[in-house]
Structure 1
Amino acid sequence: MTLRELKIFTTVCRTGSMSEAGRQLYITQPAISQTILDLEDKLNIKLFERINRKLILTYAGKRLLKYSKRILLLIAEAENDLEDIANLKTGKLRIGASMTIGTYLLPPIIKKFTTKYPEIDLNFIIDNTSVIEKKILNNDIDLGLVEGPINSKDICFDPFYNDELFLISSKENPLSKKKDILQSDIQKEAFINREKGSGTREIIDKIMNKYSISYKAKHILNNIEAIKEAVKNNLGISILPEVALKDDLQSGSIKRLILKDIEFKRQFNIIYHKDKNLTELLNKFIEYIKDYSNLN
């Protein structure tokens, strides 16, 4: 059975006339009659009794009408649902973000997006860059926002934010009084670092290696807020993203150290699988990410 056949059949049942069904469906009466005959032949059962020029449903016809209504109703529901998705009235997004982005940038983006599109089901997770990369490759998430390098050739990336990493200390640390920090100063200090797999950690290691700077990682913490608290309590120095330090630098609880002739800069990237279909919903969310980034 085809949807066309079921639609014709239910219209004939509703109107009680093949000619009227044809008029409503813009199909000739002979074509309507032939469709019903073909359907009866296909099912090997009579759907209508033809008594005194009236069409009367058989028991089999009544059963088929029951199922036909359910099927056509379900099709209509599916069409309406897909139309709502196309018009961004409903839908689902699975977003993953690395620690810095997920903690400091993503929440206001999501708030702005869901305010305009309240019916969109938007789920997000926060983990380090390597985990987000794996989830993209496994199609566990639709889109990733990461700060670290991406290794897979199956992943496309699109830069959306320029970030700078600051060398920091507590206000009690003697280095906070120095105008310029030398490489030798870092080597003498206890260093607080992120865990392996962190995008921030990869950038730090890459730049440190580039300038042949050695440092002693005394504490390994997988949480930026924990690192900031450790720095404030003078347990060591660290390198953290500017976006995570604005309030602390303004209050003076953390001091930025200027490492002479060296800058720690990077880009945040939107990532997705190269085979991913970028729907209207995904493109709209990417647009919101970039618009928010340009305002900050």
Structure 2
Amino acid sequence: MNLRKLKIFLTVCECGSMSGAAKKLYMTQPAISQAILELEDELKVNLFDRIKKKLVLTYPGEILYEYSKRILMLIDEAQNTIKDISHMNMGRLRIGASTTIGTYLLPELIGEFKKKYKNIEIHFLIDNTGVIEKKILDYEIDIGLVEGPIHSKEIIVKPFFDDELYLICSKDHHWASRKSVKPEEIKDENLIIREPGSGTREVIENTMAKYNLSYHIKHVLNNTEAIIKAVEANIGISIVPKIAVKEKIKSGNLIKINLENICFKRKFNIIYHKDKYRPTLFNEFIEYLNSFGN
């Protein structure tokens, strides 16, 4: 069993087909099939069940899949460690950010960090908190920046920035002239909210549950900017991050409404896998994030 075969096996698992793996690895499909057959012969087990041309991992296949991820991650970390030792401030960071942070904070964060470390590679992706958590668990990214609660005990969570959610409405909404509303009034309005898995949504749901509030979800959108535009058009009300709407509130395009005795507050968190090797560059970025939040 060698690393080449493990990489081929892992790619087949992730693509769900021999043909998909062949395309991703720039190999022929027969070469992929031969590598899997050799691996199965060597291990004396079937790694896949072939059901109606669909590949389904067997129990031994599931075990090898988990080990393969860890082995290839260690190889990747070894290469990064050697690069870190030989080049000091050169290296690579893979960053994942949940939607609010990715849209409103990440560009500034990366831009400032790159001024100091010009030769590093930074790859980043933006998705909701649930997706970022999974990618940390699958070793697909090094650091996550999220606004939602994290549920896995395999992940280290460190707060770095305080955020607040604002209840907002259009300047044409019947609440627009009011300074505050009673919590029970929420149930009579059309609430526009983020999708399940969003950190913003989870904070809203948890706060509503804490105060035993009823509410009516009229629209579910997976983009904060789309929600803001819908509220501006007076399609409904919403509860969104302060950093996303502070300028529109200042200009008068949106109205911030105080919900009596209730605040929607949260921490933006740095997350990473507890088993993650932390080279110099990794630690420098964490230190930078902590200084940014202060």
CA deviations on 1:133-185 (whole Å, 9 max, x unpaired) are: 00000000000001001010000011001111110000111112112211232
Whole-angstrom distance in 1 between the partners of 2:256 and 2:81: 57
C-alpha spacing 1:119/1:209, structure 2 compared with 1 (3 Å)? same
Between structure 1 and structure 2, the one with the greater Rg is 1
Structure 1 position 79, deviation (Å):
11
Residue equivalent to 1:242: 242
Residue equivalent to 2:182: 182
Residue equivalent to 1:153: 153
User: 2:246 corresponds to which letter in structure 1?
Assistant: K
The aligned runs of 1:68-147 (5 Å cut-off) are: 81-85=83-87, 87-88=88-89, 90-147=90-147
TM-score (norm 2): 0.71
Q: Is the 8 A contact 2:84 2:279 kept in 1?
A: no
Whole-angstrom distance in 1 between the partners of 2:236 and 2:82: 59
Residue equivalent to 2:206: 206
Whole-angstrom distance in 2 between the partners of 1:80 and 1:223: 40
Residue equivalent to 2:193: 193
Whole-angstrom distance in 1 between the partners of 2:174 and 2:199: 29
SS of residue paired to 1:245: helix
User: 1:220 corresponds to which letter in structure 2?
Assistant: V
% of aligned pairs identical? Answer: 52
Whole-angstrom distance in 1 between the partners of 2:169 and 2:110: 32
CA deviations on 1:22-75 (whole Å, 9 max, x unpaired) are: xxxxxxxxxxxxxxxxxxxxxxxxxxxxxxxxxxxxxxxxxxxxxxxxxxxxxx
C-alpha spacing 1:274/1:243, structure 2 compared with 1 (3 Å)? same
Between 174-183 and 206-215, report the one with greater CA deviation.
174-183
Residue equivalent to 1:63: none
User: 2:112 corresponds to which letter in structure 1?
Assistant: K
SS of residue paired to 1:258: strand
SS of residue paired to 2:141: coil
Query: Which 5+ residue runs of structure 2 have no aligned equivalent?
Result: 1-79
Structure 1 position 288, deviation (Å):
1.6
The aligned runs of 1:61-72 (5 Å cut-off) are: none
State the aligned residue count: 215
Whole-angstrom distance in 2 between the partners of 1:282 and 1:268: 18
TM-score (norm 1): 0.70
Whole-angstrom distance in 2 between the partners of 1:253 and 1:171: 6
CA deviations on 1:75-121 (whole Å, 9 max, x unpaired) are: xxx99944444x21x10000000001111111101001111111100
Q: Is the 8 A contact 2:181 2:259 kept in 1?
A: yes
Q: Is the 8 A contact 2:81 2:279 kept in 1?
A: no
Pairwise CA RMSD of aligned residues? Answer: 1.5
